[in-house]
Chains A and B, each alone.
Chain A
Amino acid sequence: MTSAALEAPRTDDERRAAVQEAASRFYRRKTLYSKLFLGATSLGLLIAFIPLFSIIYNVVRNGISYITWKFLTTPPQSPSIFHKHQIGGISNAIEGTALVFGMALLMSVPISIMVAIALYESHGRVMGALRTLLEVMIGMPSILFGIFIYTYVVERMHFQLTGLAGSLALTVLMVPLMSVACEQALRGVPAVLTEAGLALGAKKAQVMRKIVLRYALPRMLTAIMLSASRGIGETAPVLLVIGSTYVANWNLMTSQTTLTTLMYNIIQSFYNYQRSEVWAIALLLIVVVFVLNLASRIIVARLNRGHR
């Protein structure tokens, strides 16, 4: 035994007594420490909640009074010193968002589904590299997608600043997220189902269409909705390539204004009343995003309950 052991208790009873005495002496401190620690974590949760509530509160309170049928259906007007409240509506931005984002969805959904299927079916090095590439793209700053479309499509291919360029930017932005999420949905299909199909001699394409896709459809839908709710709120990449317009012209080959780019354009306005108009647009946007989000969460919750 070392000399250190000399000052330590010898018999089992002495040992036990020493530990128990120390433990009861320490009891209050460790309990207090625990309470403080748990208190700090709840404080963290509280702080994490505050901004969301503040944002929702401000958006609703400041935005709701603007929202009228006229506001949604008339084009904007510039206010002047004499007509500070003359701002018109946002029909141009609603039309622009529907057009630009609709076109982006039209392109990105089929592409993403096909890429997801490709990721699901093949397993070589190349596919591994593609998957890593897609995952890296998901984390890339969104503005770089705008730069990409600007450099390649606008500069090199001599395109104008158009709605279509905005759709392209949103498409390259959404496809990585959408395809990786859709692939996860495909992976959720029980292997027994596909094995059974293959064992019966069905072609892979048939198994995919008749079994895998059918089974994974709800989950893929949620994946698409979540990715879409990301895409619709993007500003920077669209801003760089679509220009702006005051009229709702339903033409993808001309400049467009979307809800987000309109917010960007008017928030720095000289007129208070016009500046506050962004709350109304934010309200519209947040409602769309949250509805998409909530709907997809409800679908997932339903599915989970069904499986149990």
Chain B
Amino acid sequence: MESTTENSTMENSPRQSAATVGIDPSIVSMVDAIPSNAPVVPVMRLKDVAVSFNGKVAVRDVTFDVGKNRVTSMIGPSGSGKTTLLRALNRLHDLTKSAVVTGSITLDDVDIYKGGIPTTLLRTRVGMVFQRPNPFPTMSIYDNVASGLRFNGIKKKAFLDDAIEHSLRAAALWDSVESRLKVAAATLSGGEQQRLCIARALAVEPEILLMDEPTSSLDPVSTQHIEDLLTSLKEIVTIVIVTHNMQQAARVSDDCAFLLMGEDRAGELIEFATTEKIFTNPTDKRTLDYIQGRFG
């Protein structure tokens, strides 16, 4: 990672520019996910996206591209619409009758809200990990990970066995559960359950993995585990992660979207840029204020 830092195309080192604008250097020192020179390939593009409930806008004016095999983080104060926006990306708002999503969200240039792709198939390509670990309580560890594949008609044992080992390995859980795959998932610790949920999401081989504050209910050690995991996971899947924890955003993400509530209490996208830029040299004054801890 150090070597990538040296490859940075920025003229100043992050630490220096941060010092000039008065950002806590301890946060900036965590910005190690500096982009490589590889060109950014957008896999999902959001354009003027807005979500409203019962006609009341919860989040709006969101335009940015999610880069392939990158980690995109969404930060912002509570109520700024991060979760709302994230859930729009795999159409989970469809469940809520009062929710309306406008603007366009495209996956590989197909608008996901315009019938170009059936919702259930969209969700196999855009998976989700939730704030609280939610393993299916009546299923074993094995069945939990297999569930997504089974929902999609894959029943062959050989295929399942292999896929389950592969995704449990990817979630760094294989070694500790290999001997007890048939045990109820509820017997795992909180951190293990969250990794199980990651493995379960990975098993259907999504192109994008949405994560809503995946570590907020976990202890520091489990949090560390999952953060480590993210860096290796982005080799195989694009990640969009909501987090309250700025250090976390700085540590794990390549790009960062900052959302904030406007005058009318509707969230809006203030700034989208590389994580490095957001944390060292943000364009918008409000971003800077937030990074410096001037909002709740």
Contacts and interface: CB of A to CB of B under 8 A. Distances in A.
Asked if A and B bind, the verdict is yes
A156 interface: no
The bracket for how many chain A residues form the interface is 20 to 34
B163 A22 contact: no
B151 interface: yes
A20 B206 CA distance: 9
Q: Which of B161, B205, B236 has most A Cβ within 10 Å?
A: B205
Contacts of A29: 153
Contact of B118 (A2, A18, A27): A27
Interface stretch (A8-16, A78-86, A118-126, A269-277): A8-16
Contacts of A12: 205, 236
A5 B162 contact: yes
A15 B163 contact: yes
Interface string B118-154: 1011001100000000000000000000000101111
A30 B149 contact: no
A20 B126 CA distance: 12
Given A4-B162, A5-B162, A8-B163, A19 B120 contact: no
Mostly, the A contact residues are helix
Given A16-B207, A19-B149, A27 B121 contact: yes
Nearest to B125: A20
B157 A26 contact: no
A299 to B, nearest CB: 27
A30 B163 contact: no
A36 interface: no
Interface string B1-39: 000000000000000000000000000000000000000
B139 to A, nearest CB: 18
Nearest to B118: A27
Contacts of B225: none
A27 B151 CA distance: 10
Given A2-B161, A12-B236, A30 B153 contact: yes
Contacts of A16: 205, 207
Contacts of B204: 19, 23
B152 A19 contact: yes
A4 B158 contact: yes
A29 B152 CA distance: 9
Nearest to A29: B153
Interface string B204-221: 110100000000000000
Contacts of B121: 23-24, 27
Interface residues of B, number: 22
Given A19-B124, A24-B121, A8 B159 contact: yes
A92 B146 CA distance: 69
A31 interface: yes
A6 to B, nearest CB: 9
A25 interface: yes
A19 B162 CA distance: 12
Contacts of A2: 161
Nearest to B203: A19
A23 B152 contact: yes
Contacts of A24: 121
A26 B236 CA distance: 24
A20 B163 CA distance: 13
A22 B148 CA distance: 12
B166 interface: yes
Contact of B161 (A5, A19, A22, A27): A5
Interface in B201-254: 204-205, 207, 236
Given A4-B157, A4-B161, A7-B158, A22 B152 contact: yes
Contacts of B158: 4-5, 7-8
Interface in A129-149: none
A22 B162 contact: no
A101 B151 CA distance: 57
B162 A8 contact: yes
A67 B167 CA distance: 73
A307 B157 CA distance: 53
Interface string A21-47: 011111101110000000000000000
9 contacts: A8-B162, A16-B207, A23-B121, A23-B124, A23-B152, A23-B153, A25-B153, A27-B121, A30-B153
Interface of B: 118, 120-121, 124-125, 149, 151-154, 157-159, 161-163, 165-166, 204-205, 207, 236
Interface of A: 2, 4-5, 7-8, 12, 15-16, 18-20, 22-27, 29-31
Given A4-B162, A23-B121, A30-B120, 16 more contacts: A5-B161, A7-B159, A15-B163, A18-B159, A19-B149, A19-B152, A19-B163, A19-B204, A20-B124, A22-B152, A23-B152, A23-B154, A25-B153, A29-B153, A30-B151, A31-B120
